[in-house]
Amino acid sequence: ERHVMNRLAIFGGTSIRNKPFPAWPVFDQTEEDALLGVLRSGKWWRYAYSEAPDQVGSPQSKVAEFQEAFAHHQGAKYGIACANGTAALEVSLKALGVGPGDEVIVPPYTFVATATAVLMVNAIPIFADIDYETFALQPSSLEGAITSRTKAVIPVHFAGQAADLRAILDIAERHHLLVIEDAAHGHGGAWNGRGLGSIGHAGTFSFQASKNMTAGEGGLIITSDEACAALCESYTSLGRKSGAPWYEHYRLGWNYRMTEFQAAILLQQLKRLEAQNSKRRVNAAYLTGQLSQLPGIQTMRVPDYATRNSYHLYMFRLNEREFGVSRVNFLDALQKEGVPCSGGYAHPLYRNPLFLNRDFYNHDCPLTCGHYDGNVDYSTFEALCPNAERACREAVWLEHRQLLAEQEDMDDIVRAISKIYECRNEFSGNSGPVSP
């Protein structure tokens, strides 16, 4: 069936779809039973260390069970659960020894926490551009951003697709940099068959409501380095030490612990993950096959090393000139046709008021601390990161829950986009011109 003669829903025509896409989160009786089990046990909270006196003889902590299961799932030796993905980044940076005076290279096309976690340990985030086709940290840009002060790099497995770790690890090794993988989008994802987060010195995950596994909030660090794992556990529990008295504190830490309720839900969510990710991959591949035939639509490149994508997002670029509709109008029209979508980040991270005003601590710290002898002006990154700038202007994001629908629902997405293309002339007179 063709919709050529249809008016676009945005101009009063009939929408392609009025059926909702699958809701997120997905849960059933198993999550309910798990929650009730914790509730009735009275063990709502876990001591950070098994040596705690009232843990003796009690059922195994759900947090302990979950962090072990998740680390194993991603292929790392240790898992340390924590309050959220931002905390996971802060704790792993601190545990690996990143601190005042250090620079940490991050991409600017990511959630703000990737950069603010660096500031939270008094280190300096430095932005390097992303690759045009994969939206992940560009190795050449990373290498160009390295100085004598660079201590670490945080590649983000954006949208659930592995970053170019072979090149990044090679650069990191040559310059003695720590690698912390931000895998907040990457539950179940892989790089060359290895679980995301397990490849660098540490990897971090989020279980916030939008992520592919969720308990509303939650986070986790994975690492195979025993000393790093012990420090992560200590830092998430106010600097305590395994085997030492509860009220004895050895280092400056946070209370970033996860509750037993969250872990009980996440144990069930983990059981659903692989089947859900498989479905996302099948539907994403189908969408890519269909959408790449349309003029002005450029789907995200899936490199060979991204052996398992978790598709936290399904992304493509809109070329406004080729397609004949501005992105603002495209997004609005697609929504009205019944397909949820967004343009993602309005601008790269360095253009947030936070960075432009350097409103971190008093007196510009940590940029002007005695520890730091560099000179960073966040307004200069715009010229250095053209791909991130373009991504913010051109990207279209669909949500991972949409990929949990059926093939006929993917056809609706394709039909809606085709309809907007075929009816592109309806926009003339109704709105401004396509931007140059």
Ligand X SMILES: *Cc1c(COP(=O)(O)O)cnc(C)c1O
| Residue numbers annotated as active site | 211
CB-nearer residue toward ligand X: 58 or 210: 210
Which of positions 214-273 make contact with ligand X (CB under 6 A)?
Answer: 219
Taking the C-alpha atoms of residue 431 and residue 436, their distance in angstroms, rounded to an integer, is 15
Taking the C-alpha atoms of residue 348 and residue 350, their distance in angstroms, rounded to an integer, is 6
The reply on whether position 400 binds ligand X by CB under 6 A is no
CB-nearer residue toward ligand X: 207 or 330: 207
The reply on whether position 110 binds ligand X by CB under 6 A is yes
CB-nearer residue toward ligand X: 43 or 312: 312
Which residues make beta-bridge pairs with 316? 299, 396
Instruction: Give me the least distance between CB of 374 and ligand X, in Å please.
Output: 24
Binding segment toward ligand X, per CB under 6 A, in 36-44, 98-106, 110-118, 258-266: 110-118
The reply on whether position 111 binds ligand X by CB under 6 A is yes
Q: What sign results for the dihedral spanned by CA atoms 24, 26, 28, 32? A: negative
Q: Which residues contact 22 (CB under 8 A, 6 or more apart)?
A: 401, 402, 404, 405
The reply on whether position 92 binds ligand X by CB under 6 A is no
**In this structure, are residues 267 and 66 in contact, taking their beta carbons and an 8 Å threshold?**
yes
The reply on whether position 85 binds ligand X by CB under 6 A is yes
Instruction: Give me the least distance between CB of 11 and ligand X, in Å please.
Output: 35
- Rounded to a whole number of angstroms, the distance between the first and last alpha carbons of the chain is 34
CB-nearer residue toward ligand X: 83 or 416: 83
Q: Which two tokens stand for residue 116?
A: 């603010």
One of 15, 61, 67, 114 touching ligand X (CB under 6 A): 114
Which residues make beta-bridge pairs with 396? 316
Residue nearest to ligand X (CB): 85
Instruction: Give me the least distance between CB of 114 and ligand X, in Å please.
Output: 5
Helix extents (H) in 337-385 = 353-356, 381-384
Burial-class residue 419 by CB neighbours within 10 Å (0-12, 13-18, 19+).
buried
Which of positions 145-184 make contact with ligand X (CB under 6 A)?
Answer: 156, 182, 184
Calculate the alpha carbon distances from 150 to 145, 217, 381 in Å: 9, 31, 17
CB-nearer residue toward ligand X: 48 or 113: 113
Instruction: Give me the least distance between CB of 197 and ligand X, in Å please.
Output: 12
One of 15, 74, 84, 298 touching ligand X (CB under 6 A): 84
Instruction: Give me the least distance between CB of 88 and ligand X, in Å please.
Output: 7
Taking the C-alpha atoms of residue 47 and residue 62, their distance in angstroms, rounded to an integer, is 11
Binding segment toward ligand X, per CB under 6 A, in 37-45, 78-86, 95-103, 293-301: 78-86
CB-nearer residue toward ligand X: 185 or 308: 185
- Residue from 290, 282, 272, 348 nearest 311 by CA: 282
Size of the site for ligand X (CB under 6 A): 14
Which of positions 182-201 make contact with ligand X (CB under 6 A)?
Answer: 182, 184-185
Taking the C-alpha atoms of residue 125 and residue 96, their distance in angstroms, rounded to an integer, is 16
Binding segment toward ligand X, per CB under 6 A, in 19-27, 63-71, 111-119, 394-402: 111-119
**In this structure, are residues 280 and 407 in contact, taking their beta carbons and an 8 Å threshold?**
no
Q: Which two tokens stand for residue 25?
A: 């989160």
Binding segment toward ligand X, per CB under 6 A, in 84-92, 289-297, 303-311, 374-382: 84-92
CB-nearer residue toward ligand X: 106 or 434: 106
The reply on whether position 70 binds ligand X by CB under 6 A is no
Nearest-5° angle of CA 211, CA 265, CA 191? 40
Instruction: Give me the least distance between CB of 113 and ligand X, in Å please.
Output: 4
**In this structure, are residues 324 and 307 in contact, taking their beta carbons and an 8 Å threshold?**
no
Local structure of 156: helix, strand or coil:
strand
DSSP state of 431: B
Instruction: Give me the least distance between CB of 129 and ligand X, in Å please.
Output: 17
Q: Which residues bind ligand X (CB under 6 A)?
A: 84-86, 110-111, 113-114, 156, 182, 184-185, 206, 208, 219
